[in-house]
Amino acid sequence: MASTFKVAPVPTTPIEGQKTGTSGLRKKVVVFQQPNYLHNWVQSLFSSLEALKGSTIALGGDGRYWNKEAIRIICRLAAGNGVGTVKIGQNGILCTPAMSAVIRSQKLYGGIILTASHNPGGPTNDFGIKYNVSNGGPAPESVTSRIFANTKSISEYSIATLPDGTTEDDPFASVDLSVKGTTTFTNETDSSTFTIEVIDSADDYVNLLRSMFDFEKLSALFARPGFSFLFDAMSGVTGPYGRRIFIELLGGKSDCVMRGETLEDFGGGHPDPNLTYAAELVAKCDPEQNPNAPDMGAASDGDGDRNMILGKGFFVTPSDSVAVIAAKAVEAIPYFSKGLSGVARSMPTAGALDRVAKGLGIEMHEVPTGWKYFGNLMDAGRAQICGEESFGTGSDHVREKDGIFAILSWLSIIAYESEGKDKVVSIEEIVTEHWKKYGRNYFSRYDYEEVETDAANAVMSHLDDLQAKMNAARTTPDEPMVIDPTFETKVSVADNFAYVDPVDGSEAKGQGRRFVFSDGSRVIFRLSGTGSSGATIRMYVERYEADEAGQKEDAQVALKPFIDLALRVSKLQEFTGREKPTVIT
Ligand code: G6P
Ligand code: ZN
């Protein structure tokens, strides 16, 4: 078996459309399979990194279709670019938070994640690739813009070949990705070495989680007769992690993980944990449809960074979830026992977290949509718990959002609240108690997907005009504004959200048109940054209810006056021709 290789330059030409954001590059599988498509991007990545020679990087993905093929190509390019060691998750698997944990705990130079997150997988669906830097978080704009620039000027890539110089064959084909171990190859061209280490996909990550949570207490909760739990891995990457944590370590029943096999096409589903795409779990958790409904249900997405939390027939909004976790963290979760200095949420996320921060007397940060905006706050020790309405919850243990972290947090809260009681306290009780103390932030998001770009832009410029008129009608800077003559509640802020990062002073403008009402209610419009065709308009509506008597309504009913107003003043239906949103969360 050959244990040597050579490096050869292969000419190539730029390929259009390799624009790279913090979530990397996401395209259809067939696009990635075009000759040189992956090669060009990966070479552009390596060319943009300094001090790559001899470095160690991690590599792994969410197991979607084409994962293993891509790993083989990336290894050859890594060797061709002088990378010293590539640590690959066994079978090519690393969930996104585990990748972040591996980079941080092993102090690696960076890591390449193969995922298109919650997008469907399979030969006719999506593939994706992204790069994380040495703090474990997504590459910053400074790196992604260099990668993109390189994709536009690339003329050759450098790849490992067989010792006879054949460029088609893989000199590392002898490495079995299903077997843990280390194999070192020698570069015949300059006698340097290249090592492939197949590592356990879960060890670092699971060890990190075990150091943060009290697994004994959680096992005791699982052992209580009055508690049952069901985890839906949505046929994504978290199945094996879920089995290890919930069954092997916490003693959950063998059937407490559903859709636990990682499938290349996620079983044909949309691996996104929300009320629409995780409908099967939602039905199982509804006592009216299932007499044996579990006390807690949870799901995570294709690559394991998103989560959804359910009680028995009860949905916890992501905005409430992060607020409850923050409120209970210091008592219920050992990792936070030294106290919190701050928390953060994205702008459209409902303000439940703000009330907790105020109660705790800690810093509260409101950042634009995108997990990357939490990174600086975490690095600077100014936010330990963060959340987004888009089913993202996490903490500073890694630099990605983390679905299993959120689930273990909720289990810890249930265990803590139930200690010394005859009955396990329900998720519904925990949340309604939270509302009693802090008030309830009713929240809903309407998505209009694949709208024509022109129509979506027309809605946004119409909103700009409306905001300009409202602001212009003010005679003093604080005068309440009228949004619509028939609507009584006045508006105190009408702007397009801008953010200045308190750590490095960087600015992000135009992050969403928001209307903040004098009673704290909010209506927000923004264009999604993650859609793959046309434009997606997101409309977020929030209303605060301090009075316990008014906290039991269905969100759609409680928000109706604001939803009707938002649709009317935005002329959304008129501009887009859409009667209804595609998804309501
Ligand atoms: C990804 C990002 C999140 C973001 C979400 C929605 O999951 O990691 O940070 O909140 O997409 O973004 P969008 O621009 O589509 O609303
Ligand atoms: Zn994801």
- pLDDT, one tens digit per residue, over 219-239 is 999 999 989 999 999 999 999
Q: Tell me the per-residue pLDDT of 282-302, one tens digit each, with 9 for 90 and over.
A: 999 999 999 999 999 999 999
Number of compact structural domains in the chain: 3
Q: Are the C-beta atoms of 316 and 309 separated by less than 8 Å?
A: yes
ipTM rounded to 2 decimals = 0.96
> DSSP letters of 104-162?
HHTT-SEEEEE--TTS--STTSEEEEEEE-TTSSBPPHHHHHHHHHHHHH--EEEEEE-
Residue 1 in this model has a pLDDT that exceeds 60 = no
**Same domain for 174 and 211?**
no
What single DSSP character describes residue 482?
-
**Same domain for 181 and 34?**
yes
What single DSSP character describes residue 292?
T
Predicted confidence band of residue 74 (pLDDT cuts 50, 70, 90): very high
Give me the pLDDT at residue 532, please: 64
CATH at residue 537: 3.30.310.50
CA of 437 to the centre of ligand 2 (A): 32
Give me the pLDDT at residue 22, please: 67
Give me the pLDDT at residue 23, please: 77
Last residue of a domain, one of 381, 411, 438: 438
In degrees and rounded to multiples of 5, residue 428 shows phi and psi of -60, -40
> Tell me, what amino acid is at 81?
N
CATH at residue 219: 3.40.120.10
Predicted confidence band of residue 141 (pLDDT cuts 50, 70, 90): confident
**Same domain for 230 and 332?**
yes
**Same domain for 573 and 428?**
no
**Same domain for 95 and 181?**
yes
Give me the pLDDT at residue 519, please: 87
Last residue of a domain, one of 419, 438, 457: 438
CA of 134 to the centre of ligand 2 (A): 20
Q: Tell me the per-residue pLDDT of 510-559, one tens digit each, with 9 for 90 and over.
A: 999 999 999 889 999 999 887 667 899 999 999 999 999 999 999 999 99
DSSP, collapsed to helix, strand or coil, labels residue 216 as: helix
Minimal-distance CA residue to ligand 1 atom 1: 370
Kindly state the tokens that stand for 224. Answer: 């209580």
Predicted confidence band of residue 191 (pLDDT cuts 50, 70, 90): very high
- Between 94-98, 394-398, 505-509, the lowest mean confidence (pLDDT) is in 505-509
> Tell me, what amino acid is at 384?
Q
Nearest ligand to the CA of 272 is: 2
Residue list, CB under 5 A from ion ligand 2: 117, 301, 303, 305-306
Per-chain mean pLDDT for the chain: 95
| CB of 370 sitting under 6 A from ligand 1 | yes
| CB of 183 sitting under 6 A from ligand 1 | no
Helices (H) and strands (E) in the chain, counts: 18, 26
Q: Tell me the per-residue pLDDT of 304-360, one tens digit each, with 9 for 90 and over.
A: 999 999 999 999 999 999 999 999 999 999 999 999 999 999 999 999 999 999 999
Residue % of the chain over a pLDDT of 70: 99
**Same domain for 208 and 194?**
no
Give me the pLDDT at residue 306, please: 97
| CB of 532 sitting under 6 A from ligand 1 | no
- Between 248-262, 371-385, 404-418, 519-533, the lowest mean confidence (pLDDT) is in 519-533
DSSP, collapsed to helix, strand or coil, labels residue 168 as: coil
**Same domain for 90 and 188?**
yes
> Which range of residues forms the domain containing residue 482?
441-584
Name the catalytic one among 47, 117, 201, 570: 117
Q: Are the C-beta atoms of 446 and 438 separated by less than 8 Å?
A: no
Give me the pLDDT at residue 167, please: 79
Give me the pLDDT at residue 24, please: 87
DSSP, collapsed to helix, strand or coil, labels residue 528 as: coil
**Same domain for 17 and 143?**
yes
**Same domain for 419 and 541?**
no
**Same domain for 264 and 397?**
yes
Minimal-distance CA residue to ligand 1 atom 9: 370
List strands edge to edge, sheet with 307-311: 257-258, 229-232, 296-300, 307-311, 314-316
Predicted confidence band of residue 75 (pLDDT cuts 50, 70, 90): very high
In degrees and rounded to multiples of 5, residue 484 shows phi and psi of -160, 130
Pocket probe mutation, ligand 1, options 322, 389, 530, 540, max atoms within 8 Å of Cβ: 530
Nearest ligand to the CA of 24 is: 1
Give me the pLDDT at residue 534, please: 81
Beta pairing, strands 440-451 & 583-584: antiparallel
Helix-helix angle 203-212:96-105, to 10 degrees: 90
Minimal-distance CA residue to ligand 1 atom 3: 370
Nearest ligand to the CA of 368 is: 1
> Could you tell me if residue 550 is left (phi over 0), alpha (psi between -120 and 50 degrees) or otherwise beta?
alpha
Give me the pLDDT at residue 142, please: 86
**Same domain for 220 and 314?**
yes
Q: Are the C-beta atoms of 12 and 37 separated by less than 8 Å?
A: no
**Same domain for 423 and 394?**
yes
> DSSP letters of 283-341?
HHT-TTT-TT--SEEEEE-TTS-BEEEEETTEEEPHHHHHHHHHHHHHHH-GGGTT--S
Last residue of a domain, one of 438, 455, 481: 438
Q: Quick check: is 3 catalytic?
A: no
CA of 92 to the centre of ligand 1 (A): 25
Place of tokens 């009584």: 488
Question: Which of 460, 462, 480, 465 has its CA nearest to residue 535?
Answer: 460
From the number of C-beta atoms within 10 Å of its C-beta (0-12, 13-18, 19+), residue 485 rates as exposed
Q: Tell me the per-residue pLDDT of 104-136, one tens digit each, with 9 for 90 and over.
A: 999 999 999 999 999 999 999 999 999 999 999
Q: Tell me the per-residue pLDDT of 198-219, one tens digit each, with 9 for 90 and over.
A: 999 999 999 999 999 999 999 9
